[in-house]
């Protein structure tokens, strides 16, 4: 008789595979009970005071020149008089207006520069205006496909004005376009909190959950396939394979249990 001293027991094999599966568990499916919209009304998500143009997008990389040093701005403002701060504020509004005009002319890179200049002089005591500047700059960045930077600007805009609807709208759309579906859904739900009659948000809250579920199922299938291949490598020396194990999912928790079954010869 062959020496079986180093062969693991069935219980040990089951415990090991169960731990592997639990460590790679896919989150439970996302559900939504938002009603289906009767029509698809879209709110403009482009800069304040004008609508989206129809030109083709230009592709450019993110620029470090877009960075805003708010700590440095705070130190500068401590040295300025009230009159000087108000002058800077008026100038920032003029730069915003120029940025809007440049956007309408499809000069997206120049519009970004103007919004950036506005942010660098607009006093910090005007958070709503600064939120608009960031959000408008995000709209220009979306046009030149600088999506990560656009998301950052939208997030900063929301930080300054937590109820600013357009910043959420822009970020929700960019999240979805970059396949960040969970983040997009969260933003659309927030939009519904701010505007319960927003048909575009209601449509998104119906559209995204099935897409998220489909993605999760695909990831789960791919992961289980990799675990199966790994398990077969581990089990082959003992004359076993993953076919000896039956996976059962708990419908309440979504977790898996593993049952051993001896294959008939």
In a domain, 173, yes or no: no
In a domain, 37, yes or no: no
pLDDT, position 231: 67
Question: Nearest-CA neighbor of 253 among 13, 11, 22?
Answer: 22
Residue 263 CB-half CA count within 13 A: 9
In a domain, 255, yes or no: yes
Given 161, 192, 227, which residue is the final one in a domain? 161
Pure H helices in 28-146: 70-77, 82-104, 108-121, 127-143
In a domain, 20, yes or no: yes
In a domain, 78, yes or no: yes
- Stated pTM of the model: 0.66
Considering the domain architecture, whether residues 21 and 107 belong to the same structural domain is answered as: no
Euclidean distance between CA atoms 131 and 162, whole angstroms: 9
In a domain, 166, yes or no: no
Q: Which contiguous run of DSSP H or E holds residue 17?
A: helix 10-23
Residue 246, SS3 per DSSP: strand
Considering the domain architecture, whether residues 153 and 225 belong to the same structural domain is answered as: no
When divided into structural domains, the chain yields a total of 2
CATH of the domain at 101: 1.25.40.10
10 Å Cβ neighbour count for 215? 14
Q: What is the pLDDT along the chain (265 residues), one digit of tens a residue?
A: 444 445 455 455 556 555 554 554 444 333 333 333 334 444 455 566 554 444 333 444 556 678 899 999 999 999 999 999 999 999 999 999 999 999 999 999 999 999 999 999 999 999 999 999 999 999 999 999 999 999 999 999 999 999 999 999 999 999 999 999 999 999 999 999 999 999 999 999 999 999 999 988 888 777 777 776 776 776 667 666 666 666 677 778 777 676 666 665 5
pLDDT, position 218: 82
DSSP state, 248? Answer: E
pLDDT, position 226: 76
Cβ-based burial of 198 (10 A; exposed 0-12, middle 13-18, buried ≥19): buried
In a domain, 134, yes or no: yes
In a domain, 195, yes or no: no
Q: Which domain holds residue 17?
A: 10-27+215-260
């Amino acid at each position: 008789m062959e020496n079986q001293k180093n062969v693991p027991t069935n219980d040990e094999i089951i415990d090991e595979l169960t731990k592997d599966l639990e460590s790679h568990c896919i989150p439970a499916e996302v559900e939504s009970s938002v009603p289906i919209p009767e029509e698809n009304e879209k709110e403009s998500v482009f800069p304040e005071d004008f609508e989206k143009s129809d030109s083709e997008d230009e592709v450019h990389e993110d620029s470090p020149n877009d960075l805003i040093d708010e700590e440095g701005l705070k130190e500068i403002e401590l040295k300025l008089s009230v009159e000087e701060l108000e002058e800077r504020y008026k100038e920032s509004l003029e730069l915003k207006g120029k940025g809007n005009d440049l956007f309408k002319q499809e000069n997206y890179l120049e519009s970004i520069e103007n919004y950036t200049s506005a942010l660098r002089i607009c006093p910090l005591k005007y958070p709503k205006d600064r939120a608009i500047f960031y959000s408008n700059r995000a709209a220009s960045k979306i046009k030149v496909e600088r999506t990560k930077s656009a998301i950052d600007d939208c997030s900063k805009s929301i930080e300054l004005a937590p109820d600013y609807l357009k910043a959420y709208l822009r970020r929700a759309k960019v999240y979805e376009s970059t396949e960040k579906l969970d983040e997009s859904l969260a933003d659309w739900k927030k939009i519904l909190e701010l505007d319960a009659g927003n048909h575009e948000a209601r449509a998104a809250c119906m559209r995204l959950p099935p897409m998220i579920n489909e993605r999760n199922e695909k990831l789960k299938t791919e992961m289980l396939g990799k675990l199966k291949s790994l398990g077969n490598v581990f089990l082959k020396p003992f004359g076993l394979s993953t076919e000896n194990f039956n996976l059962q999912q708990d419908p309440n928790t979504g977790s898996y249990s593993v049952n051993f079954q001896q294959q008939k010869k």
